[in-house]
Every structure is written in structure tokens, then in C-alpha cells.
């Protein structure tokens, strides 16, 4: 199922605190536009580009990228972009695209 950008905008558009995969912290989404999810911390700002998020979800659906949040980060950087992959994992887990596990799987 492709990423539903209208759902992303509805959920995060006016700002949202996304729970992190582990650690009990939050990712601060400040807003969403047609091109990206805008995130920030006290010391940096970044954008999670829609085109990359959509490509990542398509690769998850195709079985190329793992649904495990820990393995997803590595796969996303390899197949999509080195663009705040951990932040992408937090968002996609919150959207229930990635597994809800908090443990880290190891590839052999």
C-alpha cells in the first residue's frame, strides 16, 4: 500500500510529537507541506522528503527493505537516501508501516 500523503498531512500537518522507536523520547514534527515532513530539535532542523519516503515505503512493500525498525535504517540509507533515516523510522513506525518492535535484529 503506497504512502498516503493526505494522511501524513492530516496527522502531522500542524505539528506532532512522534514517539521514538526506543528510549521514550519524541521527534518534533513542526509541519508538513507537499514536499516534505519538517522536523527539528533544539540544535538542528531537517526535512524528510516526500519522494524519499514514498520510495522507502514502496521498497518495504516490495520486500527489499525490512519492516524491522533497526534494520530499516540501514536499508533506507542503502536503497533510498542518507537523509535522517532514524527519523524516517520513527515516523514510519508511528504510521504503522514498520513493525512495532523495540528490539534490534541482527543480520547474519
Number of domains, the chain? 1
- Model pLDDT, residue 30: 98
Indicate the angle between helix axes 50-61 and 69-79, nearest 10 degrees: 120
Residue-wise pLDDT for 56-108, tens only, equals 999 999 999 999 998 999 999 999 999 999 999 999 999 999 998 765 555 55
* Domain of 18, in residue numbers: 5-94
Which of 29, 48, 49 lies closest to 40, judged by CA? 29
Residue-wise pLDDT for 9-23, tens only, equals 999 999 999 999 988
103 within some domain: no
Question: Alpha-carbon distance 52 to 58, whole Å?
Answer: 10
106 within some domain: no
Sorted by sequence, the CB contacts under 8 Å of residue 97 that are 6+ apart come out as: 3, 57, 60, 67
Amino acid at each position: 500500500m503506497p504512502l498516503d500523503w493526505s494522511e501524513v498531512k492530516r496527522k502531522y500537518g500542524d505539528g506532532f510529537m512522534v514517539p521514538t522507536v526506543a528510549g521514550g523520547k519524541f521527534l518534533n514534527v513542526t509541519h508538513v507541506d507537499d514536499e516534505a515532513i519538517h522536523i527539528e530539535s533544539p540544535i538542528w532542523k531537517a526535512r524528510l522528503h516526500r519522494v524519499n519516503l514514498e520510495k522507502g515505503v514502496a521498497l518495504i512493500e516490495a520486500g527489499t527493505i525490512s519492516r524491522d525498525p533497526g534494520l530499516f535504517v540501514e536499508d533506507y540509507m542503502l536503497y533510498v537516501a542518507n537523509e535522517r533515516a532514524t527519523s524516517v523510522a520513527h515516523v514510519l513506525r508511528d504510521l504503522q508501516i514498520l513493525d512495532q518492535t523495540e528490539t534490534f535484529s541482527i543480520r547474519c
